[in-house]
């Protein structure tokens, strides 16, 4: 197990869900943004860093054809699996997104508060290469990070804060910025965190 995986395994085995700063009882904003990105029941959706989050529950309840949840922590995925025992339309992947080999193409990519933990440029580039491979042409990615005035650390780790321009720069020429939105997230203990969300579309690749 890598140091990165070990860190998140410790987090999820030492804390309850309502002790995690990113916890929310219902994924209201994520559902709105995915809806604006064109979510339909027949689409394949991947939730990056989904952990114990409730987005997968909402998508299963909507009878989404296929949902993949990827997280570094097997413990987090086991918690979510137990909540959704018997859900046949969910694939659970314990692994590092920067090294992931997607087995299928996806229509929608969702990441709420995972990408900002990648502070090294090489890790950010690896993430984007995986996302480019995973998404269909015309597929869309909803990515949420701490905003420029958001926290500098989370769960003991430094984060890379972003605005729409910096997210767009990291994604490169293969993606077009469709929409952007700021959001205030209130933690379970009442602290307010500033987030930045961007929705991007994968552009057709130029012919060689």
CATH fourth-level superfamily of 3-202: Vaccinia Virus protein VP39 (3.40.50.150)
Give pLDDT, residue 118: 97
Quick one: DSSP state of residue 82? H
- 120 touches 128 (CB < 8 A): no
Residues 18-39 have a mean pLDDT of 96
CA 109 and chain centroid, separation: 7
pLDDT digits (tens, 9 = 90+) for 123-148: 999 999 999 999 999 999 999 999 99
pLDDT digits (tens, 9 = 90+) for 140-172: 999 999 999 999 999 999 999 999 999 999 999
pTM of the model: 0.96
The helix or strand, by DSSP H or E, that contains position 44, with its residue range, turns out to be strand 44-48
- Domains of the chain by residue range: 3-202
pLDDT digits (tens, 9 = 90+) for 182-196: 999 999 999 999 999
CA 126 and chain centroid, separation: 15
208 confidence band (pLDDT: 50, 70, 90)? low
Strand 175-186, strand 192-202: pairing: antiparallel
């Amino acid at each position: 197990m890598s140091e990165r995986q070990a860190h998140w395994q410790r987090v999820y085995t030492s804390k309850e869900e309502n002790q995690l700063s990113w916890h929310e009882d219902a994924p209201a904003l994520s559902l709105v943004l995915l809806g604006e990105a064109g979510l339909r029941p027949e689409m394949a959706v991947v939730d990056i860093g989904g952990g114990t989050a409730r987005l997968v529950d909402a998508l299963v309840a909507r009878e989404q054809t296929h949902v993949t949840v990827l997280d570094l922590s097997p413990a987090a995925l086991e918690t979510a699996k137990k909540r959704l025992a018997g859900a046949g339309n969910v694939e659970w992947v314990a692994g590092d997104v920067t090294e992931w080999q997607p087995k299928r193409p996806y229509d929608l990519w969702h990441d709420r508060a995972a990408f900002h933990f990648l502070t090294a440029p090489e890790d950010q580039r690896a993430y984007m290469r995986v996302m480019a491979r995973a998404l269909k042409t015309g597929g869309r990615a909803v990515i949420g990070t701490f905003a420029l005035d958001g926290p500098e650390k989370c769960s003991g780790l430094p984060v890379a804060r972003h605005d729409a321009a910096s997210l767009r720069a990291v994604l490169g020429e293969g993606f077009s910025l469709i929409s952007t939105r700021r959001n205030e997230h209130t933690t379970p203990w009442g602290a307010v965190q500033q987030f930045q969300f961007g929705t991007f579309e994968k552009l057709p690749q130029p012919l060689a």
